[in-house]
Structure formats: structure tokens, C-alpha cells
Structure 1
Amino acid sequence: MSGVLNIFVVSPDTRSERRIEPYWTVQELKDKLEVITGIPSSNQRISLLESEGNQNALAQLSENSRELSEYGLRDWQVLKVEDTNPSVSFTGQLSDVSQVEKFELSDVEYAKRQDSVLAYKKRNRVGRFTETEEEGIQPPMAIDIPIGARCEVESAEPGLSKRGTVRYIGQTNFSKGTWVGIEYDEPIGKNNGSVQGERYFECRQKYGVFVRPEKVRVGDYPVEEISLDDEEM
């Protein structure tokens, strides 16, 4: 048997993947595993397993003078290393937390600490602290704009009347705050009642728009007739 083997090595405190040479003797293997597992070579009991899920030992590597090739090792098998005298090397105690005194804080004490994850989130406005506790989250403003009402939208262009019908009022996924969805009388909008794949109301393409409530005036605004005489063509 020749060639380097890839083997898993497990012990009470370690688990690792190792490359070993088949010509090593068991004693040479133990000497190398002492550094890895912390178990003195003289206290090691090594079992060869097919896998970690199968704890039935295929062989015990107990004869220090024999070469590993004599045990028929294959890639990705497992060498389970046990400590026959754990009281000397403290094997297993590194991963045993049952005797460790727990450090506990009350919720009030934890909230006072400045080196905690909670403090970090507050400082950087992460998660639920996007709005700080001092600022608070403002409740939705009261809006007297009925669904279905006729309206006119404030325009920056002189003489342009942007009239339509209110189709939606509320929160959206594309931006914070309250938005008013309007179906214009003419194709001067930006969408069809949906934004970024989320539908809020139905209308034809380019007839829909979302604006802030303060830009909307509700009233008896009739639909303006579009003149098609020769002077306006």
C-alpha cells in the first residue's frame, strides 16, 4: 500500500482532517497525534472506524511496531483517539462546561452595558433601532383623502392641471411614510398602479402615480376635455 491517505482524527477535544503516510508505525502515528489531541502517546487508544456515524471498530491500532498499511486504512476513514488516563491530561474537560460558573445579567443590567451587541445596534441604528428610541416612530398622519375622490395634484409646470381619481392611500414597500396613489385622467403618470413588482391599484400604463398627501387637493374637479381643433394640433 502506498500514497498519502486522508483520514479524519477525532478525540474528546478535537476533530480534524489529516494526511498520513501508510508506512508510519503505530508509535509514529501516536507521537504525531499527541500534538494534535493533547493525549500522551502512552495513554492513547486508537480505533479505526468506517465513519463517525458508525462506531463499530474495524480494528484497534494497538501494536506500536506495526505499520499503518497493515491495518488496511482507506481514504476518509476515521481514527478515534481515546485517553486511557484522562485524569493526567485533563482530556474532555476543555469541552465540558457543566462545571463552569455562568455569568448572567438581568435585562436592565445588559441594557446599561456599552460593549454589548444591543449597544452596537443602537449606536449604528441597526434592525429595530433604525429609528432611535429617543426619536421614536411617528404614528401615521391623519389624512382626509377618501378613496375614489376626484383630485388635482400640485404641478411645478404653470398652467398644467394634473387631475385624476384617488385609488390608494397608505404605506408602501418602495419608501417610508404615507403615499397617495392616483389614476390620472391622461397618460402623464409613471406606472400602472404597481411599483417594483408590488401592485397597489389597477390602471392603464402611464396613468398611475404616487405622490405625498400634501401635494393632493381633493375637490369637485371634472375631467377636462381635450380639444382636438386645428389650432391645437
Structure 2
Amino acid sequence: MSSAELIEFTITSTVSSIRSQRRFPKNITIGELKGKLELLTGANPTSMQLELYGKDDVLHQKLEDPLATLGSLSAENGMRIHVIDPTTRSGEFEPGNEEEDVRFRMSEDEYKKKERTLHAFLTKNRLGKYDEDYQKKKELEKEKGKIEEEKAKHIPLNSRCEVKVTGQPTKRGIVKFIGEVHFQSGTWIGVQYDEPLGKNDGSVEGKRYFECPPKYGAFVKPSSVEVGDFPEEGLDDDEI
């Protein structure tokens, strides 16, 4: 793996309730990371405390060594970094209390020019609704989700199907599950393949969605599934 590989994290803090997604190099030190997070959250780097949470949102460890790198701490994509700043008032960058009073007394133009306002902070760091790329991505994902959900309505349970996923060989099987799952957002189709070309037995992380032998089960997006007359490959109609 390259030392410059980027790792994507969810960033949260005690300073603001805003959550954001950011990528940092594996070889960045905790000291350097605090400088980046100061711009992102408004927390003071000299008093900043960092906690690393796993994908299950359980505390993995506290990031205390300023010379340690993210790579040396076994950080992975999908983890969460929580920023704690005991010197900053909780919710300082939230649009409430004094912030709302300031905005009420000012014109919109004056308010936008005020350096320490929430608007200035969010605009500068491209957070929340001010992150145009994130908002576009969010809208695109929402539209894709609607298309997948509509597609799923036309996939009958227990029907024969053919699954086509980019970069993988075409597989055949039976539709065994249709609906939402705990490990990903959106609507998914659970398929029992005719051959052991899957990834599971119909369960993921201990939660079962359907029954099938090990390595015969898989979950795919509705757009990858075509239902129809797809008999098991290799079967001869003249044989019983």
C-alpha cells in the first residue's frame, strides 16, 4: 500500500453538530491532523483531543501521540474521528442564541461578512449545505436510490434471475430477499446463486436475511438483476 494512500473519515466534534466526510493521507501525523481539523471544526489545536471510532461506532482508541501517523494506528476507511475541545463552548458554531441575535440585527450582507459567524465558518470550509460537491453527490445518490427502489418493485421473490455486476462474470440464481439491509443504505436484492460464487450464506455480520449454503449468497442492487427464464446453466432438458 502506498504511504500516500488516502483514508476517508466521518468528522464530528463538540464544537458543532455538523458531520462531514474528509480524506487524509495515511502518513499524516496526529499533530498535522490537528491543524487540518482546526480549519474544519474551529477547535483549538493546542487543547484539541481526538478519538477514533470504528465502523461499528465503538471507541477504537484516543489519538494522543502527536508523532504517530494514521497508518500506524490502523485507521481504515469508514471510521469516525471525534474532535473534543474543552476550551470552546459547545455549539459555538451553531446557528442559535447569540448567533441568531446577531443575524437578526444585521442585514444578510452584513451578516455574511462577519468573520466568526456560522455562515463564514461553513462557507470557508465548505461544510454542510455550503459544500456544493457534497450536495450534488447527495442529490445524485437520492435519485439513484429512487430508481433502484422502483426497479425492485418489478422483481418477484423466488423468481429466477441473472445478475450482471460490472467487472464480474454473469451469474444465475434465485431471488431470495428484497428490501433494506443494516450494512448499506437503499434497497437490495438477496440472491442465491446456482454455484458457489457468492460471498455469504444469506447473512451479514450475524444478521440473517435468507437461507442458503455458504458462498452461494450475495446482495446486489436491483439494477444488476434481470428476472426471466434463466434455467441453471449446464442442465440438459433431456435429462432428469
What band does the TM-score fall into relative to the shorter chain? 0.3 to 0.5
More helix by share: 2
TM-score by length of 2: 0.38
Greater C-alpha radius of gyration? 1
Q: TM-score, normalised by structure 1?
A: 0.39
